[in-house]
C-alpha cells in the first residue's frame, strides 16, 4: 500500500525529519539512509574517505553564508584582504580544492591576467609563457592540475640544470613539500629561490597536507605562492583550497577561476566554502594545538593498552617533526607466525566488516603491523577501535597453509587480452612463464610495458602488474579462471575501480622448416 507521507520514499529527507539528537552518533548516519556504511577514520586526512572533520566554526560560517547572496568579486576581495591580515601573506584566495588552486595560479602565470589569453587555454599557440619547471622529485599525480593549462613540464635535478632551463618561455617553477622534498638535498626551496628570483620567475609551492604556519615559512623563504588543502590539517571545507602569496598573481588566479568563464569555470567555489575556509583559518590561529596533540596521544594510549593485553603484541608511537601530515601514529606490531594473521589481513578485515575502520598496514619481512592515526577520530571511536583490535589479535586461528594448491593448468605463453572499461575496450598483451604455482612475465598495456607476476592455484589465476609514468601509476590486479586457451575475470584498478577482462592464448601456425641464410647480397630484388 502506498504511503501518503511525502517523505516515505525520500531516504535522506526522511532521515533528517526523523533524526533523534539523543541517538548515539555511531548508530545514526545519513549515509546509511542511502545504503552506504560510514567509516571510522584511523588513517588521517585522505580525500577518498572524506578528508577531515570540519571545524564547528566552519559549519556555522557555511550555514550563515548560505542565507545571503553576494557579488563574488567583492567577496573575493574581502576574503583575500582578511586572509592577508590573518596569515601575514601578501594576499589570500579560496579555491575549489588545493589542485584547483595550483591550476589557477598556473593560468595566472601563463596569461599574466590577460583574459584574451585566458579563454584560449589550453591552446597556448602564440603565448610567451608556456613552460613550467619542476624538480624531478616533485613530479606527482597532482601536477595534472598544472598540465591541464596546456603547459610543457621541464624536469630538472640540480640547481645548475634549473638555471639552464630558465628561458623567456618559463611561466613558473613548481615544487612540493613533505617527504619528497625532504629527501632531496639539491633543489631545496632556498636553492630554487636563489636561482628563480634574479630571473624574475615565480615559485609555486604545493603544501597541501601541511600544517599552516603564520607567517608562512615558505613565503618567508622566498616562495611567491603557497597552496594548502582546506580540508586537511586546517579542517575547513573538504572542497576548498587556501592560496597565499603575491597579490598580483592571486588576482590573476582569481580571474582564472569561477565565477569567471574560461578554463577554471569547472572549478567553482561557493560562497559557503569561501567563508567556511576563512572561519577555519581564523580558528586555526586560536586553536589549542598542544591540547589537540595530547588528546590524540590519549586516544592512542587507550588503544595501545588494550592491544598490549594480547601476548606478543608490541606498540610504539611515532611523532613526526615535520609539517606534512603532522599527527602522531600508533604502530601495533606482532609476529605473524604466532598470531597467524598479517597487518594487511587485519586492515582488510577492518575495511570490509562492521564497524568499518580505516587503518594503515606496515608489514615487514618478519613483523606484521597496523598503523593508527588519531587526528580525525571522533569521541567514542578510540574505545571501538581498541576492542576491535583486541578481538582480532586475540582470536585463536589455525596456521594458514604454507603451500598453494597445485596448479592444474599451465598458462605459459603469449595471451591477447581485452579489457572492458565502462564505455570502451583496450587491447593488451601478456607473455607468461609458469613454474609450478608461480608466474612471471611481461605485460604490454596500451601505452606501456611492465613486468607481471602472480600465482595459479587449481584453475584460478592471480596476476599483478604496475604501470608507471612520471608522477602517476596504475595498478592492475587480475583475478580469473582458466578454461582451455581462455582466461576470464576481473581487473582491480585501485582508485580507478574495476574492469573485466578476457584473454586468448595465441596459437602459432606451427610451420617448421629450415631457414637458409644467403652467403652474400642478393643478385636480384
In terms of domains, do 11 and 89 share one? no
Flag whether pLDDT at 129 surpasses 50: yes
Residue 256 lies in a domain: yes
Angle at 274 between CA 46 and CA 40, to 5 degrees: 25
Residue 44 lies in a domain: no
Element containing residue 394 per DSSP (H, E): helix 381-394
> Among residues 349, 364, 394, which one ends one of the domains?
394
521: burial class by Cβ within 10 Å (0-12, 13-18, 19+)?
A: exposed
Residue 363 lies in a domain: yes
> Among residues 230, 258, 284, which one ends one of the domains?
284
The pLDDT score that the predictor gives to residue 1 is 44
The pLDDT score that the predictor gives to residue 57 is 96
Mean pLDDT, the chain, rounded, equals 94
Banded pLDDT at 412 (limits 50, 70, 90): very high
CATH of the domain at 127: 3.40.640.10
The pLDDT score that the predictor gives to residue 178 is 83
CATH of the domain at 380: 3.90.1150.180
Q: Is the sign of the CA dihedral 337, 299, 279, 58 positive or negative?
A: positive
Cα–Cα distance for residue pair 304/315, rounded to 1 Å: 6
Q: Give the phi and the psi of residue 174 in degrees, each rounded to 5.
A: -115, 135
Residue 385 lies in a domain: yes
Over residues 227-248, the mean pLDDT reads 97
Paired residues of 489 in beta bridges = 480, 501
Dihedral of the alpha carbons of 307, 310, 313, 316, in degrees to the nearest 10: 30
% of the chain beyond a pLDDT of 90: 86
Over residues 476-493, the mean pLDDT reads 97
The pLDDT score that the predictor gives to residue 525 is 80
- What pTM was estimated for this model as a whole? 0.91
* Domain range enclosing 332: 289-394
Cα–Cα distance for residue pair 505/489, rounded to 1 Å: 15
The pLDDT score that the predictor gives to residue 19 is 66
The pLDDT score that the predictor gives to residue 147 is 96
In terms of domains, do 1 and 103 share one? no
Residue 3 lies in a domain: yes
CA 489 to chain CA centroid, Å, is: 27
Banded pLDDT at 400 (limits 50, 70, 90): confident
The pLDDT score that the predictor gives to residue 125 is 97
In terms of domains, do 144 and 166 share one? yes
Q: Are 350 and 306 in contact (CB under 8 A)?
A: no
In terms of domains, do 32 and 72 share one? no
CATH of the domain at 469: 2.40.128.120
Residue 82 lies in a domain: yes
The pLDDT score that the predictor gives to residue 24 is 54
Over residues 20-43, the mean pLDDT reads 79
In terms of domains, do 430 and 501 share one? yes
The string of pLDDT tens digits covering residues 97-126 is 999 999 999 999 999 999 999 999 999 999
Q: For cell 577561476, name the residue.
A: 257
In terms of domains, do 167 and 265 share one? yes
In terms of domains, do 244 and 186 share one? yes
The string of pLDDT tens digits covering residues 439-470 is 999 999 999 999 999 999 999 999 999 999 98
Flag whether pLDDT at 254 surpasses 50: yes
Cα–Cα distance for residue pair 396/406, rounded to 1 Å: 27
In terms of domains, do 146 and 232 share one? yes
% of the chain beyond a pLDDT of 70: 96
Over residues 169-173, the mean pLDDT reads 98
> Among residues 361, 394, 427, which one ends one of the domains?
394
Residue 310 lies in a domain: yes
In terms of domains, do 365 and 302 share one? yes
Residue 436 lies in a domain: yes
In terms of domains, do 231 and 324 share one? no
First to last CA, the chain: 86
Secondary structure string (H, E, C) spanning 39-96: EEECCCCCHHHCCCCCCHHHHHHHHHHCCCCCCHHHHHHHHHHHHHHHHCCCEEEEEC
In terms of domains, do 469 and 359 share one? no
Banded pLDDT at 497 (limits 50, 70, 90): very high
Q: Are 92 and 80 in contact (CB under 8 A)?
A: yes
In terms of domains, do 70 and 11 share one? no
State the pairing for strand pair 170-176/203-206.
Answer: parallel
Banded pLDDT at 4 (limits 50, 70, 90): low
Flag whether pLDDT at 153 surpasses 50: yes
Overall domain count for the chain: 4
Flag whether pLDDT at 6 surpasses 70: no
The string of pLDDT tens digits covering residues 301-346 is 999 999 999 999 999 999 988 899 999 999 999 999 999 999 999 9
Amino acid at each position: 500500500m502506498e504511503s501518503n507521507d511525502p517523505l516515505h520514499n525520500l531516504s535522506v529527507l526522511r532521515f533528517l525529519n526523523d533524526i533523534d539528537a539523543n541517538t548515539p552518533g555511531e548508530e545514526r548516519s545519513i549515509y546509511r539512509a542511502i545504503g552506504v556504511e560510514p567509516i571510522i577514520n584511523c588513517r588521517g586526512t585522505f580525500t577518498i574517505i572524506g578528508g577531515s572533520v570540519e571545524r564547528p566554526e566552519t559549519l556555522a560560517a557555511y550555514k550563515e553564508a548560505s542565507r545571503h547572496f553576494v557579488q563574488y568579486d567583492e567577496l573575493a576581495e574581502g576574503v583575500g584582504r582578511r586572509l592577508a591580515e590573518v596569515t601575514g601573506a601578501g594576499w589570500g584566495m579560496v579555491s575549489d580544492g588545493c589542485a584547483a588552486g595550483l591550476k589557477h595560479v598556473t593560468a595566472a602565470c601563463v596569461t599574466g591576467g590577460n583574459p584574451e589569453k585566458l579563454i584560449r587555454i589550453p591552446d597556448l599557440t602564440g603565448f610567451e609563457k608556456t613552460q613550467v619547471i619542476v624538480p624531478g622529485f616533485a613530479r606527482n599525480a597532482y601536477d595534472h592540475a598544472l598540465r591541464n593549462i596546456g603547459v610543457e613540464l621541464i624536469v630538472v635535478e640540480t640547481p645548475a640544470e634549473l638555471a639552464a632551463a630558465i628561458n623567456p618561455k618559463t611561466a613558473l617553477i613548481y615544487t612540493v613539500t613533505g617527504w619528497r622534498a625532504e629527501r632531496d638535498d639539491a633543489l631545496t626551496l632556498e636553492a630554487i629561490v636563489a636561482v628563480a628570483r634574479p630571473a624574475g620567475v615565480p615559485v609555486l609551492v604545493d603544501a597541501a597536507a601541511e600544517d599552516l604556519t603564520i607567517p608562512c615559512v615558505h613565503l618567508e623563504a622566498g616562495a611567491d605562492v603557497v597552496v594548502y588543502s582546506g580540508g586537511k590539517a586546517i579542517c575547513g571545507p573538504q572542497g576548498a583550497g587556501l592560496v597565499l602569496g603575491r597579490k598580483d598573481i592571486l588576482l590573476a588566479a582569481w580571474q582564472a577561476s569561477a565565477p569567471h568563464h574560461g578554463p577554471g569555470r569547472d572549478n567553482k567555489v561557493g560562497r559557503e566554502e569561501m567563508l567556511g575556509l576563512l572561519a577555519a583559518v581564523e580558528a586555526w590561529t586560536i586553536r589549542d594545538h598542544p591540547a589537540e596533540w595530547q588528546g590524540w596521544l590519549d586516544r592512542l594510549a587507550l588503544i595501545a593498552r588494550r592491544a598490549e593485553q594480547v601476548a606478543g603484541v608490541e606498540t610504539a608511537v611515532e611523532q613526526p617533526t615535520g609539517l606534512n601530515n603532522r599527527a602522531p601514529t600508533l604502530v601495533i606490531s606482532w609476529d605473524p607466525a604466532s598470531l597467524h594473521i598479517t597487518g594487511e589481513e587485519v586492515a582488510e578485515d577492518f575495511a570490509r566488516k562492521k564497524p568499518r575502520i580505516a587503518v594503515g598496514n606496515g608489514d615487514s619481512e618478519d613483523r606484521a603491523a597496523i598503523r593508527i592515526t588519531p587526528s580525525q577520530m571522533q569521541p567514542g571511536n578510540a574505545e571501538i577501535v581498541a576492542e576491535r583490535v583486541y578481538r582480532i589479535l586475540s582470536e585463536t586461528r589455525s596456521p594458514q597453509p604454507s603451500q598453494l594448491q597445485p596448479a592444474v593448468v599451465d598458462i605459459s605463453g603469449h595471451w591477447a587480452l581485452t579489457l572492458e572499461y565502462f564505455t570502451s575496450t583496450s587491447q593488451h598483451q601478456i607473455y607468461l612463464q609458469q613454474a609450478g604455482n608461480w608466474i612471471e612475465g611481461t605485460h604490454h598495456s596500451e601505452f606501456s610495458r611492465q613486468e607481471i607476476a602472480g600465482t595459479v592455484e587449481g584453475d584460478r589465476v592471480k596476476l599483478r602488474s604496475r604501470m608507471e609514468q612520471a608522477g602517476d601509476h596504475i595498478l592492475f590486479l587480475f583475478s580469473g579462471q582458466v578454461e582451455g586457451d581462455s582466461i576470464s575475470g576481473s581487473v582491480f584498478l585501485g582508485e580507478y575501480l574495476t574492469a573485466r577482462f578476457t584473454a586468448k592464448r595465441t596459437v602459432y601456425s606451427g610451420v617448421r622448416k629450415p631457414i637458409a641464410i644467403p652467403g652474400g647480397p642478393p643478385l636480384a630484388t
